[in-house]
Every structure is written in C-alpha cells, then in structure tokens.
Amino acid sequence: MVFRCFWAVPVAALIYIILLAPRTASCLKYSLSLCIASCESNKPLTMSGEPEVTRTPEEEEEEEIKSSYRPPPEKTIDEILAADQEDESLRKYKEALLGEAQAGAVIVDPNDPRRVIVKKLALCVTGRDDVELDLSGDLTDLKKQVFVIKEGVQYRIRIDFIVQREIVHGLKYVQKTYRLGVPVDKMTHMVGSYPPKTEIQSYTTPPEDAPSGMVARGSYSVNSLFTDDDKNVHLQWEWCFDIKKDWKD
C-alpha cells in the first residue's frame, strides 16, 4: 500500500506536466494578455478580446426608446387636409394648425430646396444681451467665435429656423459637449412638428446650469445637430465656449 502511494505522486505529477500544464500555461498567458490589453485601453475586455461596451442608465434608456419608437409615415400638407374631412372639428383644428400653408406651398427661398433652414443659434442669459451665432454662412468660421459663459450661471440655447415647402415632423436638437476631445455632456431636446411659415420660428431649450469651480473652468467644444424623426440632417455644426470665473475674465 505504501509502495503504491509512493509512486502515485510522481506518476500523477508526470501526467499533469504532459497533458495539463501546457493548457494551463496557455490559459494563464491568454488571461495575462487580456489584463494587459484592458489596462492599455482603460476598458474591460470580454473573453473574445473585444472591449466590453458599457452604457450609463441614461444611454440604455435612450437606446431602448430609439429601438421601440417608430415615427408615423410622412404625409404632405395636401394629404393631411384631405384626411378626416367628415370630422368638422378636426378639419378646423388642422386648418388653424397649418395656417397659411393650407392656401398653398409656402416657399421662403425658391433657390433653397431644404425644408428646414437653420438661421441662428443664440446663448440666452437672463439680464444679459443674447449672444448669437449666424448659421446661414460659412460654418467653419464658427470656431473662431467663442462664447464666454460665467461659471454657475443659468443659460438657455435658442435655435431660429425657417420651415418651408412641407410640414416637418419631430424636429430634434442634439448637442454633444467635449473637453480636450473627451465627451462630457449630451443633451437631446424634442423640438416638435412645425408647418411651413414665411416668418422665422424658434425653439428655446430648458434652462441649464453652467459647471462651476476651478476644475470646470476652461475651453469646451460643441457638436450640434438639428434633425427629425426621419433622421434628416437639417444642419450640423461645431462651436466653442469658455467657462470663466466672471464674464470679463
């Protein structure tokens, strides 16, 4: 019995070395490579070696809304007016909603085929004059015009635009803010549906509080997008602002 036990240990060790050790070493080597890659990328990796995709609760909620929402089919003004003619109250409501568009096509600029012409972005702070960016010219010049925002102040963003030719459904304003190339904030505002009009129409965002403190001060870049339910890109532009201790710094 003692003799058998004496040989059992080296035999078992020999079997492990021959059969299992290479696999174990390979697994350890692979795990180590994953750890190194994860540290280099600053992101956890899956067993396939691909970076693990992590989302904030807000991003998961937004993704869920996107996957479940289906915009209604697009209709022209004539189709909207022709529908439900037997309902007198609904007919009058649509006529009041469409306004001058029901009398015929509203075309503000015959040389511009777009339905939405974004004219201006304004930074609005109570007690101060609005600071405006002209969006009808060369958009590459916008980065030269830097907004100064006092830290901790409450501000709004106003978008001025023209709708022509046809009604536009589900306009959205999306704003992504970066600092040193790193995304720090994202806002998505549902602007709504608008009929064609000869005059400029506007949307103002809810109030936002500018960040405050020494760490928050500095330069920021913004990527703005004006889109709609049908994912039409009406305008996309970049602009910049500085957070400072005071307006005159």
Summarised one tens digit per residue, pLDDT across range 89-107 is 666 656 666 665 555 678 8
Structure tokens at 89: 């109250």
Q: Is the pLDDT of residue 222 over 80?
A: yes
User: At which residue do the structure tokens 């390979």 appear?
Assistant: 26
The mean per-residue pLDDT over the stretch 46-71 comes to 50
- Say how far residue 18 (Cα) sits from the centre of its chain: 56
pLDDT of amino acid 179: 94
Q: Specify the pLDDT at position 41.
A: 46
Q: What is the mean pLDDT of the chain?
A: 75
Phi then psi for residue 208, to 5 deg, are -125, 145
pLDDT tens figures, 114-173: 999 999 999 999 999 999 999 998 998 888 889 899 999 999 999 999 999 888 889 999
Whole-number pLDDT of residue 246: 93
Q: What is the CATH number of domain 107-244?
A: 2.70.50.30
Residue among 161, 166, 151 at smallest CA distance from 241:
151
Q: pLDDT digits over 180-191, tens only?
A: 999 999 999 999
Which pLDDT score is estimated for 168? Answer: 87
Q: Which residue has the higher pLDDT, 34 or 73?
A: 73
